[in-house]
Amino acid sequence: MLLSLGMLMLSATQIYTIFTVQLFAFLNLLPVEADIAAYSFDNKTENFEDLPARFGYRLPSNGLKGFLIGARPENACEPIEPPPRDNLTGAFIVLIKRFDCNFDIKVLNAQKAGYKAAIVHNVDSDDLISMGSNDLDVMKQIDIPSMFVSEVTATSLKEDFTYDKGGHVVLMPDFSLPLEYYLIPFLIIVGICLVLIVVFMITKFVQDRHRARRSRLRKDQLKKLPIHKYKKGDNYDVCAICLDEYEEGDKLRVLPCSHGDGLLIFTLLVNFLFLPGTHIHTV
């Protein structure tokens, strides 16, 4: 039974692994939606790809609409200028240049200035980088979303879609499931299998205890068995279990045996058989 449960656990794990791999492959084959949708004042629209940071909050499911402003200073390695204080109700998003300091410092400075999101762009490269943080204290302070874009994307955004040119952008969340979406079901399956194994082991232990009690003589039956006092010269003088020699006057209880030669004489452990005063040796 235990082996069967172990095989079941292994099979469930294998099935889940195959399912996860197939789902991941399926998601990768889906058409990638634009992460940044940019709109100019003359209704020009352009879509750009980005890579979300590994810190900060996620974008809302319906996206984040805002007006794009270039950071001053551009690298945002020190406190930057806040967004305009006018009557606009929309959020402001800051565009930051890469290098000179860590990503988390740039985003934290953007947050402190009052921006609702930050876009960091590459320099002399169109590669996308997953921005991370090595400073736990700084990372805990960041509660705005941020993402990384290429240099060509940043150039296009600056030319046609910034706030001073009448444009705005919409940051869309990635169509991808975080790691915990895959890990949690796996842990649930493993946990269920472990619980089943523990329940089986407890049940088997209880059944073995009941079986042992059923095969043991009852107290009233044990009292009916004849008692023999050991005397020197008897045919049996050594306990068959502990190999200890009997002493004069030891009480030996005679049990019926199904062997062909009739009776075997045993001395039973009284501590276990509820009869005080009987010697503990067995023949």
Render pLDDT for 164-199 as a digit per residue (tens, 0 to 9). Answer: 999 999 998 875 555 555 667 777 887 888 888 888
Distance CA 97, CA 141 (A): 21
Question: How far apart (Å, rounded) are the C-alpha atoms in residues 84 and 69?
Answer: 9
Tell me which of 25-34, 95-104, 150-159, 193-202 is least confident: 25-34
Quick one: pLDDT at residue 48? 93
Contact predicate 130/51, CB 8 Å: yes
- DSSP letter (8 states) at residue 233: T
For the segment 115-130, what is each residue's pLDDT rounded down to a tens digit?
A: 999 999 999 999 998 8
Q: How confident is the model at residue 274 (pLDDT cuts 50, 70, 90)?
A: very low
pLDDT of residue 33: 44
| 87 has a pLDDT exceeding 50 | yes
Q: How many helices and strands, by DSSP H and E, does the chain display?
A: 7, 11
Query: What mean pLDDT is predicted for residues 146-162?
Result: 94
What tens digit of pLDDT does each residue of 39-68 get? 998 888 999 999 999 888 888 888 899 999
Q: Which two tokens stand for residue 188?
A: 């649930």
Query: For residue 27, what pLDDT band results from cuts at 50, 70 and 90?
Result: very low
The residue ranking higher by pLDDT, 185 or 33, is 185
Of residues 277, 278, 276, 260, the one with CA closest to residue 268: 278
**What Cα–Cα distance (Å) separates residue 31 from each residue in 79, 101, 147, 176?**
39, 35, 20, 12
Mean pLDDT over the full length of the chain: 76
Q: Check residue 182 and give its pLDDT.
A: 60
Q: DSSP state, 164?
A: G
Strands of the sheet with 263-266, listed across from one edge: 227-229, 251-256, 263-266
Mean pLDDT of the region 157-170: 92
- Own/partner pairs, 39-45, CB within 8 angstroms, 24+ separation: 39/161, 39/167, 39/168, 39/169, 39/170, 40/160, 40/161, 40/165, 40/166, 40/167, 41/165, 41/166, 41/167, 44/160
pLDDT of residue 273: 44
CA dihedral 189, 190, 194, 197 (to 10 degrees): 70
What pLDDT score was predicted for residue 185?
A: 75
Residue 244 pLDDT class (50, 70, 90 cuts): confident
DSSP alpha helices (H): ranges in 162-234?
A: 179-215, 219-224
Q: Most confidently modeled of 29-33, 69-73, 223-227?
A: 69-73
Q: How far apart are CA 41 and CA 171, in angstroms?
A: 18
Strands 146-149 and 117-121: parallel
Give residue 95's identity as a one-letter amino acid code: L
- CA distances (Å), origin 247, targets 31, 263, 264, 283: 91, 21, 19, 13
- Burial (CB count within 10 angstroms: exposed 0-12, middle 13-18, buried 19+), residue 56: buried
Mean pLDDT of 258-263: 33
Q: What is the mean pLDDT of residues 189-210?
A: 85
